[in-house]
Amino acid sequence: MLVKMWINGEAIRDHIDPDMLLLDFVRRHGCASVKRGCETSNCGLCTVMLEGKPILSCSMLAARAEGMHVMTLEGIQEEAREFGSFMAGQGADQCGFCNPGFIMNVLAMIRELTDPTEEEIKEYLEGNLCRCSGFVSQLRSIMEYLKYKKGEQDGSGK
């Protein structure tokens, strides 16, 4: 079947099998940042934004995204790099396997919530598993990044 959608602003048309997952579709179109982790909707590694909302690309058919806008890490590289430097600064960047999904969901959270509390941050990121960091350094990096975004620190608190 033929599908059309926008990936990171670029219009894509392609013939697919009806059961092709969105995860495989975006990877086929150059978005190698989107990874397959659990494939049972539990780990958050495959997170992309669909019409601005974070979803799990391992659990959605590409056909469902017909006519929609998909955003992956490749489409928000500058923002991702900026936040990534806070992760590195706080030691939250260990094996790095979880990073693409984690960063996508953090950036989705920042778009959705204004001035989230620590509890709200933890709740928003419950669906992103990390086997290395123990989540504390990840939380620190988000708090520091949010301060930076509000102009409360100059980026040296990375």
Q: Which residues bind other proteins (CB under 8 A)?
A: 1, 17-19, 40-42, 44, 47, 50, 53-56, 59-61, 63-64, 66, 105, 108-109, 123-128
Confirm or reject binding of residue 64 to ligand FAD (CB under 6 A): no
Among 28, 32, 38, 42, binds ligand FAD (CB under 6 A): 42
- Find where tokens 């780990």 sit: 43
CA–CA separation, 32 and 21 (whole Å): 14
CB of 37 to ligand FAD, least distance (A): 13
Confirm or reject binding of residue 37 to ligand FES (CB under 6 A): yes
Annotate 115-134 with b (16+ C-beta within 10 A) or e (fewer). ebeeeebeebbeebbbeebe
Which of other proteins, ligand FES, ligand FAD, none does 36 bind, CB closer than 5 to 8 A by kind?
ligand FES
Query: For the window 128-147, what string marks contact with ligand FES as x by the rule CB under 6 A?
Result: --xxxx--------------
